Structure 1
Amino acid sequence: MPIDAAKALAAEPRSGEISWDRKDVQLYHLGVGAGIPATDPGELRYTLESRLHVLPSFATVAGAGSPGVISSLSMPGIEVDLARVLHGGQSLTLHRPIPVQGTATATGRIAAVYDKGKAAVLVMRTEVADAEGPLWTNDAQIFVRGEGGWGGDRGPSARSNPPSGEPDRVLDRPVREDQALLYRLSGDYNPLHADPEFAKLAGFDRPILHGLCTYGITLKAVVDTLLDGDVSRVRSYATRFAGVVYPGETLRIRAWRRQGRILVAVSAAERETPVLADTVVEHS
């Protein structure tokens, strides 16, 4: 069996130094659709170095995401085919605002391995801290198709009931044809998002958008419209990837305000297909 759960969980964490600067932040922001309109004061906070703040979801790519999902798939006890890998969910906890530039230590480990029968789910946890203390914690839930069925723990069910009532905001965000090509320059070079032949091997008609790109586009829309454009108000952000997005489509983002939380559902507007579910932004 390519996944040895006991061995993966017992493996020593991997730590390494990561660093980023304003160009990394600006590139990420462009990769999640910032800069339109280019002279809008709200957009300049994402693109102009003299006004720059950091969208919290940048944490998923800071330091090229190292130790990231791809490197974690080569940890002891894990040997899988990338064509069978799908990003199932992501959660992010912010301990304080992310600086525009910095150097930190990222420590990654396999926090859980679940047996879903027809797939295995790996929870890959990355904790990042700099000289001043913890910055953020990332959990990536990775589905590996065809690797379940060994009788292991099925794990918790992350699904919840959809929000009730009319949303407080409905926002449409177009995805550019070249969005995946731009986003991948922030460090996720999985060929699923660029190579048509590889995408077909994975069962898709054409390359799909990174789930984490959709994740970033959605958080930016929420911050800009419901949190007064203040990135420092975000405390945590979690989602389940419910479907794929193709470059060129439109994201329809529905958001419901709750006390200290914003519940979000995202679909591909043209196909009326859910793409992000169980999505929650906790804020101050």
Structure 2
Amino acid sequence: MPIDAARALGAAPRVEEISWGDRDVRLYHLGIGAGVPATGPAELRYTLESRLHVLPSFATVAGGGPPGVIAALSMPGVDVDLAAVLHAGQSLRLHRPVPAAGTATATSRVVAVHDKGRAAVLVLRTEVADGSGPLWTCDADVHVRGAGGWGGARGPSAKPGPPSGEPDATVERPVRPDQALLYRLTGDDNPLHADPEFARAAGFERPVLHGLCTYGMTLKAAVDTLLAGEPDRVRAYRARFVGVVYPGEALRIRLWRRAGEAPGTRSVRVEVGAAGRADAPVLAAGHIEYA
């Protein structure tokens, strides 16, 4: 069995020190499409160090180490082919605003292994804290084709229904033809996003955009459109990756305002499609909680 669920769940947490600076933050922002137009005041908050605001989704790449998907494959009890792996979902909970520079301790462990029959889903949780306390918690859902069927618990399967009513805002964001190559510089070197032969072996016609790049582009669009360009207001963000985006396409991002799940908060429901492919879904059940 390529995944030993008991061993993965029982393994000791992996603890490492991570550091980042404003150059890492600015590179991440460029990787998710910030800086257009280059001298626009709203974009300079993402690209100019003297007025830098950190988009919270930077937390998914802070420290420059392997992203949750790759990190999960190196955990004890997990021995699978990278070509069989997809990033199925990502959640992020902010305990404090992400600083533009810092050093922190990241503690990672597998907290769930779901048997989906023909596939398995691993949940890798990473908790990050510095000398002042917790900073953020990330959960990466990792879908592994052909790794299920051992009789384990199936895990949650309920999915939220489609949003009701017309969206409060709809925006389109172009994906540069070289965007996956730029985003790879944040630390995600999975060849699926650059190597045509590897992409074809994994079942895709050509390299695809990172799910976390779509995730970041979507959060930026919501912050800029409905949160007055104030990323520090974000408290949590989660989404499921349900389809691929190819570099050179455009995202159509639909946003609905909702009541928040926690007292004193509001939320935004998000759905994203590929604009040039009849809005084929690429990100679903998106939920952004904000102050």
The answer for the alignment partner of 2:196 in structure 1 is 196
Deviation, 1:157, is: 1.6
Name the CA distance, whole Å, in 1 between partners of 2:50 and 2:117.
51
Name the CA distance, whole Å, in 2 between partners of 1:93 and 1:69.
18
* RMSD of aligned alpha carbons: 0.9
What is the CA deviation profile of residues 132-165 of structure 1, one whole-angstrom value per residue up to 9, with x for unaligned ones? 0000000000000000011100001251101000
The answer for the alignment partner of 1:276 in structure 2 is 283
Secondary structure of 1:39's counterpart equals coil
Name the CA distance, whole Å, in 1 between partners of 2:210 and 2:231.
22
The answer for the alignment partner of 2:263 in structure 1 is none
The answer for the alignment partner of 1:208 in structure 2 is 208
Distance change (3 Å), C-alpha of 1:90 and 1:65: farther
Deviation, 1:66, is: 5.1
Secondary structure of 2:64's counterpart equals helix
Letter in 2 for 1:261: S
Name the CA distance, whole Å, in 2 between partners of 1:205 and 1:27.
28
Secondary structure of 1:276's counterpart equals strand
> Quick check: 69-78 or 224-233, which moved more?
69-78
Name the CA distance, whole Å, in 1 between partners of 2:65 and 2:272.
24
Deviation, 1:67, is: 7.2
Name the CA distance, whole Å, in 2 between partners of 1:212 and 1:75.
20
Secondary structure of 2:276's counterpart equals coil
Q: Confirm or deny: 8 A CA contact 1:17 1:103 kept in the other structure.
A: yes
Deviation, 1:75, is: 1.3
Residue 266 in structure 1 maps to residue 272 in structure 2: yes
Q: Confirm or deny: 8 A CA contact 1:240 1:279 kept in the other structure.
A: yes
Deviation, 1:78, is: 0.5
- TM-score with structure 1 length normalisation? 0.99
Q: Confirm or deny: 8 A CA contact 2:87 2:142 kept in the other structure.
A: yes
Secondary structure of 1:220's counterpart equals helix
Deviation, 1:261, is: 0.6
Q: Confirm or deny: 8 A CA contact 1:14 1:67 kept in the other structure.
A: no
Name the CA distance, whole Å, in 2 between partners of 1:151 and 1:55.
40
Deviation, 1:250, is: 0.4
Distance change (3 Å), C-alpha of 1:135 and 1:44: same
Secondary structure of 1:62's counterpart equals coil
Letter in 1 for 2:177: E
Name the CA distance, whole Å, in 1 between partners of 2:190 and 2:288.
27
Residue 251 in structure 1 maps to residue 258 in structure 2: no
Q: Confirm or deny: 8 A CA contact 1:67 1:106 kept in the other structure.
A: no
* Residue segments in structure 1 that go unaligned for 5+ positions in a row: none
Matches within 5 A, 1:65-84: 65=65, 68-84=68-84
Name the CA distance, whole Å, in 2 between partners of 1:68 and 1:22.
22
Deviation, 1:214, is: 0.1
Name the CA distance, whole Å, in 1 between partners of 2:228 and 2:136.
22
Deviation, 1:65, is: 4.1
What is the CA deviation profile of residues 115-140 of structure 1, one whole-angstrom value per residue up to 9, with x for unaligned ones? 00010000000000000000000000
Matches within 5 A, 1:146-225: 146-225=146-225
Secondary structure of 2:121's counterpart equals strand
Name the CA distance, whole Å, in 1 between partners of 2:148 and 2:24.
37
Deviation, 1:64, is: 1.4
Distance change (3 Å), C-alpha of 1:152 and 1:280: same
The answer for the alignment partner of 1:231 in structure 2 is 231
Secondary structure of 2:221's counterpart equals helix
Name the CA distance, whole Å, in 1 between partners of 2:67 and 2:85.
17
What is the CA deviation profile of residues 171-206 of structure 1, one whole-angstrom value per residue up to 9, with x for unaligned ones? 000000000000010000000000000000000000
- TM-score with structure 2 length normalisation? 0.96
Name the CA distance, whole Å, in 1 between partners of 2:289 and 2:96.
13
The answer for the alignment partner of 1:144 in structure 2 is 144
The answer for the alignment partner of 1:97 in structure 2 is 97
Name the CA distance, whole Å, in 2 between partners of 1:213 and 1:67.
12
Q: How many residues of Structure 1 are paired with residues of Structure 2 in the alignment? A: 284
Name the CA distance, whole Å, in 1 between partners of 2:255 and 2:193.
27
Name the CA distance, whole Å, in 2 between partners of 1:125 and 1:71.
10
Residue 58 in structure 1 maps to residue 58 in structure 2: yes
* Residue segments in structure 2 that go unaligned for 5+ positions in a row: 260-265
Letter in 2 for 1:282: E
